[in-house]
Amino acid sequence: MYDFAVVGVGPAGARFARRAAEAGYDVVAFERGTVGTPLACSGHVSTDIWGYVPDDAKSELLQNRVYGARFHVGGPDSAAHPFYKREEVSNVIDRVELDRTLADCAREAGADVWEQHTVVDVDERAEDVALTVSNEDGTEAVRAKMVAGCDGPTSRVRKQCGLPEPGEILHGVLAFDPAPDDGDFVDVHLTAPRFFAWRIPRGDAGVEYGLGAPPGTSVNELFDRLTAAYDVDTEHFCSGAIPIGPPERVHSRRAFLIGDAAAQTKPFTGGGILYGMTAADCAVDAVDPDDPGSLRDYESAWRAELSREIALGRWIRRAYSLPEPVQQLGLRALSGEIGVHMDRPTSFFSREHLAKLVGR
């Protein structure tokens, strides 16, 4: 019997598997397809990402360096309000290779990582968890003391263990223009209902165009308008769910959720790579597979680490729905050089950022 079974080998699942294996636990991790595919989210991340991968991985993963963002209330021809730093704000990375790199780190730490294995049933019992796993040869039973649900926005672990759903699920789409672009700025368009659209230069990998919006919105039609406004033909279209708003509880007796399954994401961008891996580290430090009560410690730990950032992120997101004149006024007032960290909204109140505001 394993100490931990991990369902889903995205960044959160791979990080937890790696750290738990390094801590001496017996870990098995299941990925229903091939790690990293299909691509369903952006690869625009803060520079903190390099603390989670081997030093020699950066040269393979890095596609472009970003120094700021231009915000638009309308389309590409509308007034741009730039927010920037003199040093890198963020990086654009190969998102598929990131997942594969993190999975390799888990394997090297001693975790069993099984691709093409789908967990089809999760049965929480008094002393363990029984998983039914499907692969090309049929099904097999796997037992573990605890199960980590890292299986994304529509988590099977969450559903079968009776855990509550995220506050909302947005619909995100993205596609790529292959023309190289190593521009210093991403473009953000506050044109999608209650969310936004984006353009991200990815160096030699081309340009990423994307959009997120609530269910029921004609996301594909809005995306077509975006790419038409930029006069580009895109390829490799893909879509996925974006969970926003963690539920009041992300653990049961022997199961716990990490990453998108727990909606540990930034409400104002939908990004969850760094938040998910932060929560994975909290889980490894807090959870004892022989003590179900330790799951409460995980619940407290990840919320202490992320809840203030998520709460402030909700307020930022509300600005996306303000009347256009108010948005224009706010963007004009706040644009310019910043001292804000893209994953930590609370850094808006840092000495560095306040000094930038006062110095304008």
Ramachandran sector of residue 206 (left: φ over 0; alpha: ψ -120 to 50; beta: rest): left
The reported pLDDT for the residue numbered 360 is 62
Asked whether the beta carbons of 147 and 255 are under 8 A apart, the reply is yes
- HEC string of 77-92 equals CCCCEEEECCCCCEEE
Residue 342 CA to residue 97 CA, distance in Å, equals: 22
* pTM for this prediction: 0.95
Per-residue pLDDT of the chain (360 residues; tens, 9 = 90+): 999 999 999 999 999 999 999 999 999 999 999 998 887 788 999 999 999 999 999 999 999 999 999 999 999 999 999 999 999 999 999 999 999 999 999 999 999 999 999 999 999 999 999 999 999 989 999 999 999 999 999 999 999 999 999 999 999 999 999 999 999 999 999 998 889 999 999 999 999 999 999 988 789 999 999 999 999 999 989 889 999 999 999 999 999 999 999 999 999 999 999 999 999 999 999 999 999 999 999 999 999 999 999 999 999 999 999 999 999 999 998 899 988 899 998 887 777 765 666 666
Q: Which CATH superfamily is domain 1-39+94-166+245-319 in?
A: FAD/NAD(P)-binding domain (3.50.50.60)
- Every domain of the chain and the residues it spans: 1-39+94-166+245-319, 44-93+168-242+322-360
Asked whether the beta carbons of 229 and 198 are under 8 A apart, the reply is no
The reported pLDDT for the residue numbered 355 is 66
Contacts of 308 (CB under 8 A, 6+ apart): 346
The reported pLDDT for the residue numbered 37 is 86
Asked: is 44-93+168-242+322-360 a CATH 3.30.9.10 domain? The reply is yes
Contacts of 19 (CB under 8 A, 6+ apart): 109, 280, 281, 284
Asked whether the beta carbons of 65 and 87 are under 8 A apart, the reply is no
**Overall size of the chain counted in residues:** 360
Contacts of 130 (CB under 8 A, 6+ apart): 121, 122, 123, 141, 142, 143
The reported pLDDT for the residue numbered 216 is 80
